[in-house]
């Protein structure tokens, strides 16, 4: 399987690994930074889910 046909999350992971390696980022620094990114993305997903629920509730009269 080529990278071009890989799922988007795999393509992104490869790009991130390359960026970290090319910039000689310490692995622990990368892990700490990725934890912040992960938390931010999870909060955004939760906010989107909450907004979707609010819209559904309004549209259904709940």
What span, in angstroms and rounded, lies between the C-alpha atoms of 2 and 18?
A: 16
With 60 as the cut, is the pLDDT of residue 62 above it?
A: no
Supply the pLDDT for residue 47: 93
The pTM for the full model equals 0.71
With 70 as the cut, is the pLDDT of residue 46 above it?
A: yes
With 60 as the cut, is the pLDDT of residue 4 above it?
A: yes
Q: Name the one residue in this structure whose structure tokens are 């709940």.
A: 62
In terms of Cα–Cα distance, which of 57, 59, 38 is closest to 49? 57
Burial class, 30, CB count within 10 angstroms (exposed 0-12 / middle 13-18 / buried 19+): middle
With 90 as the cut, is the pLDDT of residue 28 above it?
A: yes
What span, in angstroms and rounded, lies between the C-alpha atoms of 47 and 49?
A: 5
């Amino acid at each position: 399987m080529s990278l071009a046909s890989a799922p988007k999350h795999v393509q992104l992971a490869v790009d991130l690994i390359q960026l970290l390696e090319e910039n000689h980022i310490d692995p622990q620094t990368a892990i700490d930074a990725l934890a912040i990114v992960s938390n931010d993305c999870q909060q955004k997903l939760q906010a989107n889910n909450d907004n979707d629920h609010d819209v559904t509730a309004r549209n259904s009269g709940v």
